Amino acid sequence: MHEPLILVSSITYAMKGKRILEQRGIRAYVERIPRTREAGCGYGIYVPAGIDEAERQLRNMGIRILGRSERKNVAGL
């Protein structure tokens, strides 16, 4: 299943991004991902629906986005 994850540079950006999205009615979940050069310390924001709008909102609010990745399918979400 195609489940994009927005990669951010820190846990601080991930938590702030989640709060920003939820204030705008967009469900979001912070997830730990394996550390890579591209993903920095390894955090992402999973948005089940409306990923393009979520990314636009985050960029507009100054959240540094490193890119997108595919989320591993996790049971229960």
Residue pLDDT tens, the chain, 77 long: 578 899 998 899 999 999 999 999 999 999 988 666 655 568 999 999 999 999 999 999 999 999 998 876 655 54
For residue 32, give the 3-state DSSP assignment: strand
Q: Are 6 and 63 a contacting pair, CB within 8 Å? A: no
- For the entire predicted model, the pTM comes to 0.81
Give the Cα separation of 60 and 72 in Å (integer): 27
Place of tokens 């939820």: 22
Helix (H, G, I), strand (E, B) or coil at 67: strand
Domain ranges of the chain: 4-63
pLDDT value at position 19? 98
Q: And the tokens for 24? A: 């705008």
Residue 37 has what pLDDT? Answer: 60
CATH number of 4-63: 3.30.70
In this prediction, residue 35 carries a pLDDT of: 64
